[in-house]
Structure 1
Amino acid sequence: MGFHRRLAPSGFNRGAGAALCALSAAAAALGAAPASAAPQGHTRAEVDRLYQQAEEATEAYDKADERADALRREVNHSQDRIARRQQSINAMRETLGSLAGAQYRSGGIDPTVALLFSDDPEDYLDRASLLDRIDVRQAGQLRELQAAMRELAQERSEATGELAELERSRTAVAAHKATVEKKLATARRLLNALPAADRAAFEHASRGADRADLPDLFGVSAPDGRAAAAVAAARAALGKPYVWGASGPSGFDCSGLMQWSYAQAGIHLPRTSQEQRYAGRQVPLSQAQPGDLVVYRSDAGHVGMYVGNGQVIHAPYPGAPVRYDPVGMMPISSVTRP
C-alpha cells in the first residue's frame, strides 16, 4: 500500500522515535538531495533526535506528575486523619479533666493529677506509686489518651515525610517539564530554519496519511468486548493533536492515549509507556490482536495500539495528530495484552 511505502523506516538513526517516519516521508517527497542539501538532512535527523528525547522526558514527566497527584491525595488524607484524631484527643482530655476536677473538689485525688494533662501523660503512668490515686476507669481512659497521642505523633511524622516527598516530586515535575519544553523549542527553531520546501514537506508528512491511504481494516475485529471498546475509543481520537503530558479527551501523548482509550472500556492502565509494558500478558508480535499495546524502543519510550492488518493507532509527536502508522515503524520492544 502507498501508506506503507511512504512511511517505511529510512536509514536514519535506527533507534529513533516516531518522528523518524515523518522525516523519512519528507526526504522521499524531496527526492534525491544534492550534496549541498546535507545540512538540511542533518537538521531533520537532529529534529528527530530532539523529538525522541522530548518523548522520553514526557514519559518521565507523566510518571512524576502521577506520583505528585498520589502524594497530594495522601497528604490530604493524612491531614484529615490528624484533625480527627486531635479532636478525639481534645475530647478525651476534657472528659478526664472534668472527672479529675470533681474528684479534687471532693478531696478524692491529689493535685499531682495535673501531670495527667501535660503534653506527655506517659510521665504519669510511668510512676506506679501514683496509680492508686486514680480509679480503674480513669486509668483506662488515660491509657487510651496515651495511645491516641502516640498515634497522633506518628501520623504527624509520616505527614511531614509525605510533604517532603511531595516537594521533591514537584521539583522533579518542574525539571522534566523544562526539559520537554526546551527540546521542543529547539526542534521548532530547527524546523523554522529549514528551506520553505523542506519545511512544507515535513509538515505535510506530519499530518499523516491522506484519507485515500487509510489502512484497510475491513473484517478486523477485537478478541473481546473490552478490547473492542478500547479500539473504538482510539479510533475516535484519530486527528486529535499530540499534547505532551495530556491524557485526553482533546489531546494526548502516546501513553495518555492508551490510558484514555482503555478507560473508556472500564480498564485502568498505568500512566507511562514503561508501566503499560507490564500492564497485562506479553505476547509475540506474530500473535498480536486488536487492542494489544505495542511498546517501542529498548527504553519502552513509546506505545501504540495494534488495530489489525499491520497497523497501530498512536500519538506520534508534537505537530502530528493521532493517526495510523505501520506497526513496524520503529524497533518494537514488546506487545502487551491488557
Structure 2
Amino acid sequence: MGSHRRLAPSSGFNRGAGTAICVLSAAAAALGAVPASAAPHADARAEVDRLYQQAEEATQAYDKADERAGALRREVNESQDRIARQQQRINTMREALGSLAGAQYRSGGLDPTVALLFSDDPQDYLDRASLLDRVDARQAAQLRRLRTAMRELAQERTEAAGNLAELEKSRKAVASHKAVVEHKLAKARRLLNAMPVADRVAFEHASRGDDRADLPDLSGAVVPDARAAAAIAAARSALGKPYVWGASGPSGFDCSGLMQWSYAHAGIHLPRTSQEQRYAGHQVPLSQVQPGDLVVYRSDASHVGMYVGNGQVIHAPYPGAPVRYDPVGMMPVSSVTRP
C-alpha cells in the first residue's frame, strides 16, 4: 500500500504534498503546457498516495497490536484453565483433610488414659492410637501441600489479572489503530471520488496495474534454496488477490501478511509486521539481493515485498491494487533481509 506511482522522485517519499505542488507549478510556469486545473488534480493524487502510506503505517501498528491481543487472549484462557484445575485440587485436598480431622476427633476425643480404661480391647486401643499418630503426620503433610497449592493459586490469579488488564489495553490499541486506518482510507476514497471521472479512472487503472499486459520475465532468476522456492511459489499463487488491511490470507493480504503467509508455506514463521520482519533473518546489501529475500521499504519499514528475481518484487501494494509484481526500486529501499 505504498506511495509509488512516481508522482515525485523516489528519494522524496517523506516530503508532503506541498513540495509536489511546488514542483508541478514550477514546471507549468516554465513550459506553459500544464492546464490550470492540473495542479489541484495532481495535488489530490499526491494526497491520496500520502494517505495510503499513512494508512499502511497504521495497519502495521494494528497488526502488531492485534497479534499481541491474540497472544494475551491465549495466555488468559490457559491461566483460567490452570486456575480451575488448581481450585479443584485444593477442594479435593480440603475434603481429604476434613475427613481426617473428623476421624481424629471421633477417635481421639477422650483423654488417652480414660479411653484405655473404658476400652474393651486395650490392644485395639493401642493399635488405633498408633494409627492416629500416623494420621497426624499425614495431615500435617497434606496441610503443607494445601498451603503451597493456595499460594500458587493466588500467584496464578494475580498473573491472570495482570494479563487481563494488558489485554484490555491491547484491545483499545487495536481499536485505535483500526480507527486511524479506516479514517485515512475513507479520506482517500473521498478524494478519489471528487476527482474528474477521467482522472479517477486513470488513477485506479494504474493502481490495478492493468496497463501491464505482460508479466515480468523471471526465467533467468536463480532461486538459492528449496525454502526460498516454496515461499516464492506461495507468493505467486497469491497474485491477483486483493489488498485487505490487517489480513494474512488466504483470500486477501496486507504487505506483511503476504510475507508471513508465503514463508509459512516454506516452514518458516515470520513475525507479523514489516518492522519485525526487517530483523527476521540476516540483512544483506541490495546489490546482493536474491530471490526470496524480503525487501523492506521506507525509513520506518512500513512496507515489505518479496524479491523474485530480474529486478522484480511481489507485494500487496494498497487498497484497490491486488497482489502483483513491481520493480524492486518502486519505493526507497531501507533494507533487505534473508530469512
Does the TM-score normalized on the shorter chain lie above 0.5?
yes
1:264-301 Cα deviation digits (max 9, x unpaired)? 11111000000000000101111111100000011000
State the match for 1:198 in structure 2: 199
Residues 242 and 320 in structure 2, CA contact (< 8 A), matched pair in contact too: yes
Give the CA deviation at 1:219.
2.2
State the match for 1:307 in structure 2: 308
Check 1:33–1:235 CA distance in 2 against 1; reply closer, same or farther (3 A cut): farther
State how far apart, in whole Å, the 1-side matches of 2:42 and 2:152 are.
65
State how far apart, in whole Å, the 1-side matches of 2:9 and 2:216 are.
24
State how far apart, in whole Å, the 1-side matches of 2:79 and 2:229 are.
40
Where structure 1 has 5 or more consecutive residues not aligned to the other structure, the ranges are: 1-5, 18-31, 111-131
State the match for 2:283 in structure 1: 282
State how far apart, in whole Å, the 2-side matches of 1:192 and 1:251 are.
24
Larger Rg: 2
State how far apart, in whole Å, the 2-side matches of 1:286 and 1:9 are.
26
Match of 1:324, SS? strand
State the match for 1:128 in structure 2: none
RMSD (Å) for aligned C-alpha atoms: 2.1
State the match for 1:23 in structure 2: none
TM-score normalized with structure 1 length: 0.84
State how far apart, in whole Å, the 2-side matches of 1:9 and 1:265 are.
37
Residues 7 and 325 in structure 1, CA contact (< 8 A), matched pair in contact too: no
1:2-40 Cα deviation digits (max 9, x unpaired)? xxxx965633882269xxxxxxxxxxxxxx632331111
* Equivalences for residues 116-155 of structure 1 within 5 A: 135-155=136-156
State how far apart, in whole Å, the 1-side matches of 2:61 and 2:191 are.
24
1:125-167 Cα deviation digits (max 9, x unpaired)? xxxxxxx998222111101000000000000011011111111
Give the CA deviation at 1:109.
9.4
Match of 2:12, SS? coil
State how far apart, in whole Å, the 1-side matches of 2:177 and 2:211 are.
34
Identity of aligned residues (%): 81
State how far apart, in whole Å, the 1-side matches of 2:70 and 2:76 are.
10
Check 1:12–1:295 CA distance in 2 against 1; reply closer, same or farther (3 A cut): closer
Give the CA deviation at 1:220.
1.1
State the match for 1:320 in structure 2: 321
Check 1:13–1:196 CA distance in 2 against 1; reply closer, same or farther (3 A cut): farther
Where structure 2 has 5 or more consecutive residues not aligned to the other structure, the ranges are: 16-32, 112-132
Residues 103 and 109 in structure 1, CA contact (< 8 A), matched pair in contact too: no
Check 1:12–1:332 CA distance in 2 against 1; reply closer, same or farther (3 A cut): closer
Match of 1:35, SS? coil
TM-score normalized with structure 2 length: 0.84
